[in-house]
Amino acid sequence: MAAVHGDVHGHGHGDHHPTGIMRWVMTTNHKDIGTMYLWFALSMFFVGGTLAMGIRAELYQPGIQILEPELFNQFTTLHGLIMVFGAVMPAFVGFANWQVPMMIGAPDMAFARMNNWSFWLLPVAASFLIISFFVPGGAAAGGWTFYPPLSVQGGLGVDLMIFAVHILGASSIMGAINIITTILNMRAPGMTLMKMPMFVWTWLITAYLLVLVMPVLAGTVTMLLTDRHFGTSFFNAAGGGDPVLFQHIFWFFGHPEVYIMILPAFGIVSEIIPTFARKRLFGYSSMVYATASIALLSCFVWAHHMFTVGMPVVGQLFFMYMTMLIAVPTGVKVFNWTATMWQGSMTFETPMLFSIGFIFLFVIGGFSGVICAIVPIDIQVQETYYVIAHFHYVLVSGSLFALFAGAYYWIPKWTGRMYNETLGKWHFWLSMFFFNLTFFVQHFLGLAGMPRRIPDYALQFADFNMVSSIGAFGFGLTQILFVYIMVSCVRSGEPAPEKPWEGATTLEWTHLPTPAPYHSFETPPVIK
Amino acid sequence: MSSKLVASLAGIFGLALYSSMAIGSKYNLPEPQNFIAQDVYDQHIVLMWICLVIFIGVFGVMFYSVLKHRKSQGYKAANFHHSTSVEIVWTVIPVIILVLMAWPATKTVIAMKDTSEPDMTIKVTGYQWMWGYDYLQGDGEGISFYSKLSTPVAQIENKEPKGENYLLEVDNNLVVPVGKKVRLIITANDVIHAWWVPALAVKQDAIPGFIRDSWFEVDNPGIYRGQCAELCGKDHGYMPIVVEALEAEQYAEWVAEQQEKLAAEETSEKQKLGLVDGSIVTNEKS
């Protein structure tokens, strides 16, 4: 019960704010904004998920049944864009908004109004993406990587997508600047950098990556826009440009982007494992260095997405070696988590289950990552279902599982209510089963030679595609359970104890009441 | 009742999955048809074994811990939280493993890139949505044709039963002799495509306005199928590649046949032109 002493005075005056819808439109409170980010991400997750269900329904059997090829391409393109920019990234920013101030003992984010702005850009961008399905010519259909010259061929949908990416990029940059400033300037007295919780560290590094690469993406989509409409030829060989240039610039953004989506997941898992092992995180400083070196290396590996464009030998070898090197710090992280669990006193509530599930499946994704790094093998599996399997293992059972883990872990603190543990465990086991049913067989499809982004396939791929589709429908339905668990927790969950997780050691658990008050840490705690 | 139902359903499902996996090639790379593809195949197998060993090591430890170090079993948490020597060990060992993996891969990359001294050269052009082949040099020089999907639309629209090579069949196969080094010069006419035949371990993007090269050799006569591997628009899924490898004599016959056809086409073309010449156009010309 020592948890409540933090800032006894200070909650008094801040609670008057507009009510109803205006509360959410005008809010500058990091908790309100965090909540909006999370609900937004969840709804985009279902939009992107619906597209995925469409894709898997078409691929259930060979032949064209429900989606014509052009519409199928629009589905795959928007599925990727919405999941990356609409679901996973905003969800992590939502966690940062809720948790970073509370974990470093700050009253709010550094730039509260910019925080509001960076959130409210998102629904605008999302509606551009969704509207694009209904404009003449339909949505962008060139894949979420929108390589020219194919993306130059599209109609208004491509322009809407470019505009949406601009807005999303602006939102991310603002969010990242806000997080960097908050972490560097607003830590409680005594919290040195090397005393920060891992989640805060991973977000600090992620935010720097965002500031580095989002402008690059903005630049490249702008070049695409001027190629489309203003007669430039950046990516058009006939005018002296180079289509491959686009891929270099895009992946200079795109590969760090991958780590933008996984580093905060590492952070969440690094908070949860020690809590439920009731033991300090093993190798804290090596975790920090590993995160930093992953981020640094991620800026030098972009062309491993392009091993088939025909680079010179030296280029291929350089990018192969750099990519393989990433396995070293990633391995360090996995070993550290294992060592944290070793001789702990573990319990297995839903957040812990999702964290262990995360490590287990992320490692499989890591293995296929190393295999993809080997140039000769990558040349076989590039642009096949093997790659689809690989990045869903790191993005779904990686980032998404960590997001689930974080949601179960922190929702008692956010709402003062407990989620239903039994249903939470069901959510985990069903997700685990259906996830693997969906994606494990895709390794086989890729090795056997099924290209990605095709609406129809040869007969030898039929069995595994059917298995994969069944898994996908199951996975999709399971996520409705997640919504039910969260909504019923927020509305009518059992009141949470002051400290539901006995092993938790970070400030939000030790220094704040449950639920966390609307304004917290107006007087900073002192860290010894 | 219901548990029986679940059990039998699970049994059926398990059996179905098992029988579908029983066919070997379904869950690995296709049977290699040249030494590069063989290298790739072997390296993939070796890597899988390495991954499996690491996997068992790491998760053996983790799941032992999950089973034994539980609060419910009264296990008290230990207090250690770092060890420099252990951390150095598990940084250095992966580096060594990676070097061992990189070494053979490097040799294969260099071999893949060596397009020097080919026996013949074929230009490959990607179009939305078919392939064009021009035999530039070597046996068959001058032969030139397009290669399009030959699967009937009715099969795609589920109005007819699907054939054995559904979506992997074309009107004109790319015919090559076995045992010859075939250099490909690859480009595209409109958007980026990628020319890929898995059994030959060739995948090279076809980039409009640029020329890339690659090469392959086929050890055994036969038909090897592949597909376009870079999203190229609506019919990306409908531009397969079929390579037909023939023994030297049969290849020579094929070349002769093609050249005859070519000559016949030329004559008929000239005849057509002759007709045209005879009527209106001559007046303007002369």
Q: Which DSSP string do the residues of A277-313 spell out, in sequence order?
A: HTSPPTTHHHHHHHHHHHHHHHTT-GGGGGTTS---H
Cis upstream peptide for A98 (omega within 30°) = no
How is domain B27-113 classified at the architecture level of CATH?
Orthogonal Bundle (1.10)
Asked whether residue A363 carries a pLDDT value surpassing 70, the answer given is yes
Tell me the CA end-to-end span of chain B in Å, nearest whole number: 95
A460 close contact with B: CB closer than 8 A: yes
Q: Is the pLDDT of residue A430 over 50?
A: yes
pLDDT per residue of chain B (286 residues) written in tens, 0 to 9: 456 656 666 665 555 554 444 344 678 999 999 999 999 999 999 999 999 999 999 999 999 999 999 999 989 989 898 899 999 999 999 999 999 999 999 999 999 999 999 999 999 999 999 999 999 999 999 999 999 999 999 999 999 999 999 999 999 999 999 999 999 999 999 999 999 999 999 999 999 999 999 999 999 999 999 999 999 999 999 999 999 999 999 999 999 999 998 888 888 887 877 655 544 444 444 3
- Report the C-alpha gap between A462 and A377 in whole angstroms: 24
Whether the Cβ atoms of residue B221 and residue B246 lie closer than 8 Å to each other: yes
Is the predicted pLDDT of residue A281 greater than 70, yes or no? yes
Nearest partner of A468 among A483, A446, A493, A499, judged by Cα: A446
Classify strands B212-216 and B182-188 as parallel, antiparallel or unpaired: antiparallel
Find residues 373-392 of chain A whose CB sits inside 8 Å of chain B: 374-377, 379-380, 382-384
Phi, psi of A485 (to 5 degrees): -60, -45
Residue ranges with strand state E in B112-181: 120-127, 130-137, 144-147, 174-177
The whole-number pLDDT of residue B25 equals: 66
Residues 286-305 of A with CB under 8 A from B: 286
Active site residue A257: yes
8 Å CB contact of B27 and A459: no
Using one digit for the tens of pLDDT, what is the confidence trace for A204-216? 999 999 999 999 9
CA angle, A32 then A38 then A41, to 5°:
140
Q: How far apart, in whole angstroms, are the C-alpha atoms of residue A194 and residue A189?
A: 13
> A523 or A12: which carries more pLDDT confidence?
A523
Whether residue A313 is predicted with pLDDT greater than 90 in this model: the reply is yes
Out of A69, A143, A327, the one facing B234 most closely (by C-beta) is A69
The partner residues of B177 in beta bridges, in order of sequence, read B246
Domain residue ranges of chain B, discontinuous segments joined by +: 27-113, 120-266
From the list A27, A35, A172, A468, the catalytic residue is: A172
- b vs e for A21-55, b when ≥16 Cβ sit within 10 Å of the residue's Cβ? eeebeebbbbbbbbbbbbebbbebbebbbebbbbb
- Could you identify the residue written with the tokens 């490249």? A220
Strands B174-177 and B240-246: parallel
CB pairs A-B closer than 8 Å: 285
Q: How confident is the model at residue A120 (pLDDT cuts 50, 70, 90)?
A: very high
* Residue A182 near residue A119 (C-beta atoms within 8 A): no
What is the 8-class DSSP label of residue A76? H
pLDDT in tens, A1-51: 344 444 444 444 456 677 888 889 999 999 999 999 999 999 999 999 999
Q: Who has greater pLDDT, A351 or A9?
A: A351
DSSP conformation class of A86: I
- The distance of A455 to chain B (nearest Cα, Å) reads 7
What does the alpha-carbon distance between residue A273 and residue A348 come to, in Å, rounded to a whole number? 10
Average pLDDT over residues A280-291: 96
Query: What is the rounded distance in angstroms from the CA atom of residue B20 to the CA atom of residue A466?
Result: 11
A345 is catalytic: no
Domains B27-113 and B120-266 share a fold: no
Q: What are phi and psi of A147, to 5 degrees?
A: -65, 130
User: Which DSSP letter does residue B171 get?
Assistant: S
d(CA B159, CA B161): 7
- What pLDDT score does A286 carry? 95
- The rounded distance, in Å, linking the Cα atoms of A377 and A369 is 11
Q: Which of A56, A79, A166, A427 is catalytic?
A: A79
Is the preceding omega at residue A149 within 30 degrees of 0, hence cis?
A: yes
> Which chain A residue lies closest to B108 (C-alpha atoms)?
A376
Instruction: Look at the alpha carbons of A388, A295, A377, B148 in this order and tell me if their dihedral is positive or negative.
Output: positive
- Shortest Cα–Cα distance, B268 to chain A (Å): 35
Q: Whole-number mean pLDDT of chain A?
A: 94
CATH fourth-level superfamily of B120-266:
Cupredoxins -  blue copper proteins (2.60.40.420)
- Backbone phi, psi, residue B192, to 5°: -75, 130
Q: Is the reported ipTM for this assembly greater than 0.95?
A: no
Which residues of chain B neighbour A282 with C-beta distances below 8 Å?
80-82
